[in-house]
Structure 1
Amino acid sequence: MSRVISAVGGGETLLPVVSALVLVLVAASVLGALQSFVLQRAAEGVVLTTRRALADRLLRLPVAEYDRRRTGDLMSRVGADTTLLRATVTSGIVEVAGSAVVGVGALVAMAIVDPWLLLVTVAAVSVGLAVAVTTSRRVRRLSRQAQEEVGAMSAAVERALSAVRTIRASGATAREVEVVDASATRAYRAGVAVARLQALVQPAGSIAVQGAFLAVLGLGGYRVASGSIAVGDLVAFVLYLFLLVMPLGQAISAYTQLQTGLGALARIQEVLALEPEDDARPERGGVVVTVPRVPPAGTPLLELDEVSFAYPDGTPVLDRVSLTVPAGSRVALVGPSGAGKSTVLALVEGFYPLTGGAIRWAGTDVRDLPRAALRGRLGYVEQEAPVLAGTIRENLLLAAPTASDDELWAVLADVGLTGVVQRSPRGLDVAVGDDGVLLSGGERQRLAIARSLLARPALLLLDEPTASLDARNEELLRRTLAAAAADRALLVVAHRLSTVVDSDLIVVLDGGRVLASGTHDELLDASPLYRELATAQLLV
């Protein structure tokens, strides 16, 4: 532009310099569009990579971590927090870096044109820049607080939706709405606090820019009048000033955005820093030991040797529990609620570390075996019998992905679910709804048992397998389990003693301790607690 002005004043031809100017503008537009696409693509790549890493880590965390954390907050980190990273990449890091490069170039050019005008510019801009940077530093802390509140709100919504039927039936809808509203309000206030700080940044930058322009025009006009610089040089300097302050304003805004992204990044890194379970390695590390073959029937398959367990806060759950499950046998755990029966199954699965004692699989401590290999020998049906959203087929194939349709139909017949599947024209592809809501409680339980049977485990762990079954289906399941026990061992937790009266061994737990063990008839004579339970259930 300085050359254009000089050419006009000197009567020179304008074609070369104007052509160069047009070429520069066109090239800048093309590069700007390319930059926008590359940045957006890079941002989506960052978000994809982060979400993959988070999802992988979240699904591999020790079970104890899920007990300590709220599901909704963990979901917020995968969704809302990773979304903030996109803005950080597109208008944060690159804008700051790009503005720095352009700013340095502009400063060098301004120094060449007129050092005195540059000195005035730097003085005016530095004041606004210092205020903006100081303010932006507080944004990171407040932004993380805002994201924590968003996570808490997501957790509140997830809590309400997961129990929406119970909430409606209890007439608690309005109260739950108030809980979610209060959480949303806290998130709003935290967001407003961030916005308030961010709003201070723009005026500080604007005042600095306007001050710089006024100072340059005032001093520059004086220097032109005194003949120190030419008009073309002053115009060039002003355009360089535009080149400096416009990216500078973007950089200040981007720096604030970067602080917001770093707040979200801290929440993401908090999860990524958690140690995951390594399914391919033993719990205690060291050399990987091959999982022993299933021993002959009647010899010990699973042994609990003086097993103790307590929660992290020190609350005791199990106290020196010992029992043996021979291969091909049926062993039952009975006792009042809170006795520690379900905890025994969780420890066998390796969901929690032992406080004391040892659990052995065919004579080998399970802490020396790869978790994945050991769990491949176990079938586990939880008390809640969770069913995943999807179809009957997808739920069955969860533990046995290569099973054929004939095998699926056979296992459904074993648990009495054939009629449930046949009543829909979609057959095995009938939807079960979110958490299996389209199935009854008994159907969900039988589907979970079928899923475990299909994997053909050497040891089947059942936690209250008949809790949601009527008498007819309970008898069907008893026959199924009796047939299943012919080639595998069963460890069953039961409140309804009618399910386990014919077990090879019944272990009575109370207060985390083994009070007695034996057959049904033996325990009626030897265990007052068992006799009390049997009497209450009309088995005596």
Structure 2
Amino acid sequence: MTAPAISGPEAAPTGVGVRHLLPLLSPHRRPLLLAGGLSLVAAAGALAQPALVARVIDVVGSGQPLLPAVALLVVVLVAASAVGAFQQFLLQRTAEGVVLTTRQTLTDRLLRLPVAEYDRRRTGDLMSRVGADTTLLRATVTSGVVDVVGSVVVGVGALIAMALVDVWLLLVTVGAVAVGVTTAVLASRGVRRLSQRAQEEVGAMSAAVERALSAVRTIRASGATEREVAAVGASAERAYAAGVQVARLEALVSPAGSIAVQGAFLAVLGVGGYRVAEGTISVAELVAFILYLFLLVMPLGQAISAWTQLQTGLGALTRIQEVLGLEPEHEDRPERPGTGGSSAGAPLLELDGVSFRYPDGTPVLNAVSLRVAAGSRVALVGPSGAGKSTVLALIEGFYPVDSGVIRWAGTDVRELPRAGLRARLGYVEQEAPVLAGTVRENLLLTRPGATDDELWAVLADVGLTEVVRRSPLGLDVLVGDEGVLLSGGERQRLAIARSLLARPDLLLLDEPTASLDARNESLLRDTLAAAGADRALLVVAHRLSTVLDSDEIVVLDQGRVVGRGTHHELLDSSPLYRELASAQLLV
């Protein structure tokens, strides 16, 4: 079916701000509040340390017992570092949870969009929203939401303390910086490996989304939406677990560097003791001021980083909100509609004056009417662009009709459960999508509870038994990405077998022999004969030799029915059909 013309990309929603981030954070508000509280505790510990250092120095100068003051300093230092480490891990884990729920929500929405949305959008762009854009939310949560609270507290407290001390001299040596950097680098050596694994899991999840979206019509027609959503959700959970492992190691990096740097400063204090004798300023005041300045510099850097991360995250959130703002296809109850007691020769499916045009106004069908009786075989033929494939898409409910009505066993399909109607239909697209995986997985898409005997029986119906038995793996033989390990005819017959397994009352086939050679076409004609033994067939055909024995052939041209009848009747009554038959040497 020809895709509708698009004048330009749809504008992304504007005005996305922090308020749009809150619904994503709401399910995780408890750990976020706890992380915020721990951030304040860590900030208080950091602000207390310079004062405790000054106290140690005063104790040394006064000759009082040194151990209590030093012990208190060490306890506060270790406790603040431990609280900071746990707070960072909790924050990183919560951020991974936000990414997980966002990915699952996006996947659920993407697999439920109206088919028209897939025609208008690029699959790769949709996938990037699930992968790359949701990943950017992680840094927004960690750097742009909670850390800034502790940074503000530390910065304001340091400014107040510095104003009280009134003197500043920064004593930082190259050795102290080297110790801190080296410690952090050594502690972070495993982060690259775990981060690479996490990215691989994200890539696997993106591949699962691409697999589902590339065959979304087959999945929708097979009633497999719920299972595909669950499968991609499981892949997202594996990415979440890998991300938590990265967060666990990164939570060790920050305190390792922090302890090393602060230890270096404590060593510097020993050197500063020699300057006490000069009497220009007390050592306690000097050291406290230095440490407070250091505490001031860090929040400034964190605030700048937080702002940058927040802006990046909001840009990603804009794209995510665009997809979440799209209306999904309405899902009905899963009951299967009855055939209305129809018998052989009775109208199973009827199109009555159906017209359809694309959203941009391009007309496709104009007052098309046809009937498919139970057990009959009807063919749609005509030149390319006549609207043949569109008829099948409308029957499946992928698009709403503009006018006219489609009836199933005498009932307007708009009054029937859509999922139930699709359960009565078997749909094989022109490209005959074969999903990456095994023959078994492809067949079970339509009937997950089918037995091996049923699988072998349906393979026999389409002449694929010997092909599958060539491998010792049997039903578990891999078909390759998009069925690349199968021939075109084998892919087509496997797609038909998948639809037949669901035992549909009506099988819709779109150009089943369009890309087949003469031998495979002959095999497929035998397959269609077997498939039509106990069900109705509606076949869109380019090669007329496939449908010569149809009960009725409907000729479409420019969206209109211009002829109907058997092959011999149309040779006499339809100039267009006679022209098509003559071009294929059938006259």
* Kept in 2: contact 1:102–1:244 (CA 8 A): yes
Query: Cα distance 1:113–1:290, how it changes in 2: closer, same or farther (>3 A)?
Result: farther
1:368 aligns with: 415
User: 1:356-384 CA deviation, whole Å, 9 max, x = no partner?
Assistant: 22212122222232321111111100111
Q: Does 1:263 align with 2:315?
A: yes
* Counterpart code for 1:73: D
1:69 aligns with: 121
The 5 Å alignment of 1:23-422 reads: 23-106=75-158, 232=284, 235-280=287-332, 293=340, 295-422=342-469
Measured after TM superposition, the shift of residue 486 of structure 1 is: 3.4
* Kept in 2: contact 1:294–1:327 (CA 8 A): no
* Kept in 1: contact 2:439–2:476 (CA 8 A): yes
Q: Distance in 2 between matches of 1:445 and 1:243?
A: 68
Identity percentage of aligned residues = 80
* Kept in 2: contact 1:289–1:368 (CA 8 A): no
User: 1:440-491 CA deviation, whole Å, 9 max, x = no partner?
Assistant: 1111111111111111111100011122344444344334333333332111
Q: Distance in 1 between matches of 2:407 and 2:380?
A: 18
2:65 aligns with: 13
State which of 431, 444, 452 in structure 1 corresponds to 2:499: 452
TM-score (norm 1): 0.74
* Kept in 2: contact 1:63–1:351 (CA 8 A): yes
* Counterpart code for 2:125: D
Query: Cα distance 1:290–1:331, how it changes in 2: closer, same or farther (>3 A)?
Result: closer
Measured after TM superposition, the shift of residue 279 of structure 1 is: 2.3
Q: Distance in 1 between matches of 2:431 and 2:96?
A: 38
Query: Cα distance 1:290–1:386, how it changes in 2: closer, same or farther (>3 A)?
Result: closer
The runs of 4+ residues in structure 1 deviating greater than 6 Å are 111-115
* Kept in 1: contact 2:337–2:421 (CA 8 A): no
Q: Distance in 2 between matches of 1:101 and 1:301?
A: 73
**Secondary structure in 1 aligned to 2:356?**
strand
Unaligned runs of 5+ in 2: 1-52, 168-205, 215-278
**Secondary structure in 2 aligned to 1:307?**
strand
Measured after TM superposition, the shift of residue 302 of structure 1 is: 1.2
Deviates more, 1:448-457 or 1:253-262: 253-262
Q: Distance in 2 between matches of 1:266 and 1:392?
A: 40
Q: Distance in 2 between matches of 1:14 and 1:62?
A: 74
TM-score (norm 2): 0.68
* Counterpart code for 2:571: L
1:512 aligns with: 559
User: 1:310-355 CA deviation, whole Å, 9 max, x = no partner?
Assistant: 1111111111111111222111101111110001001111111222
2:222 aligns with: none
* Counterpart code for 2:467: V
1:2 aligns with: 54
Q: Distance in 2 between matches of 1:423 and 1:508?
A: 41
Q: Distance in 1 between matches of 2:60 and 2:517?
A: 99
* Kept in 2: contact 1:294–1:301 (CA 8 A): no
Unaligned runs of 5+ in 1: 116-153, 163-226, 283-287
Report the aligned-residue RMSD.
3.0
* Kept in 2: contact 1:445–1:468 (CA 8 A): no
Measured after TM superposition, the shift of residue 433 of structure 1 is: 0.9
**Secondary structure in 2 aligned to 1:517?**
strand
Q: Distance in 2 between matches of 1:403 and 1:359?
A: 31
* Kept in 2: contact 1:416–1:473 (CA 8 A): no
Measured after TM superposition, the shift of residue 523 of structure 1 is: 1.5
Q: Distance in 2 between matches of 1:367 and 1:114?
A: 79
**Secondary structure in 1 aligned to 2:111?**
helix
* Kept in 2: contact 1:106–1:241 (CA 8 A): yes
Q: Distance in 2 between matches of 1:232 and 1:462?
A: 87
2:535 aligns with: 488
* Counterpart code for 2:577: Y
Measured after TM superposition, the shift of residue 55 of structure 1 is: 1.8
Measured after TM superposition, the shift of residue 501 of structure 1 is: 1.6
Query: Cα distance 1:98–1:290, how it changes in 2: closer, same or farther (>3 A)?
Result: farther
Q: Distance in 1 between matches of 2:113 and 2:322?
A: 13
Q: Distance in 2 between matches of 1:363 and 1:84?
A: 52
User: 1:146-185 CA deviation, whole Å, 9 max, x = no partner?
Assistant: xxxxxxxx9xxx9xxx9xxxxxxxxxxxxxxxxxxxxxxx
Query: Cα distance 1:419–1:289, how it changes in 2: closer, same or farther (>3 A)?
Result: closer
**Secondary structure in 2 aligned to 1:60?**
coil
Q: Distance in 2 between matches of 1:359 and 1:438?
A: 39
Q: How many residues align?
A: 431
User: 1:114-163 CA deviation, whole Å, 9 max, x = no partner?
Assistant: 79xxxxxxxxxxxxxxxxxxxxxxxxxxxxxxxxxxxxxx9xxx9xxx9x
Measured after TM superposition, the shift of residue 69 of structure 1 is: 1.3
* Kept in 2: contact 1:308–1:356 (CA 8 A): yes
1:223 aligns with: none
Q: Distance in 2 between matches of 1:493 and 1:334?
A: 6
1:430 aligns with: 477
* Counterpart code for 1:17: A
* Counterpart code for 1:38: L
Q: Distance in 2 between matches of 1:70 and 1:355?
A: 25
User: 1:201-252 CA deviation, whole Å, 9 max, x = no partner?
Assistant: xxxxxxxxxxxxxxxxxxxxxxxxxx9x987456545533433332232122
Query: Cα distance 1:448–1:24, how it changes in 2: closer, same or farther (>3 A)?
Result: same
* Counterpart code for 2:407: R
* Counterpart code for 2:437: G
* Counterpart code for 1:444: R
Q: Distance in 2 between matches of 1:289 and 1:382?
A: 22
* Counterpart code for 1:5: I
Q: Distance in 1 between matches of 2:472 and 2:546?
A: 34
* Counterpart code for 1:319: N
* Counterpart code for 1:350: G
* Counterpart code for 1:424: S
User: 1:71-116 CA deviation, whole Å, 9 max, x = no partner?
Assistant: 222222222212222222233322222213333444565677779x
**Secondary structure in 2 aligned to 1:376?**
helix
* Kept in 1: contact 2:165–2:285 (CA 8 A): yes
User: 1:253-276 CA deviation, whole Å, 9 max, x = no partner?
Assistant: 122112112111211221121111
Q: Distance in 2 between matches of 1:364 and 1:419?
A: 42
Measured after TM superposition, the shift of residue 513 of structure 1 is: 0.3
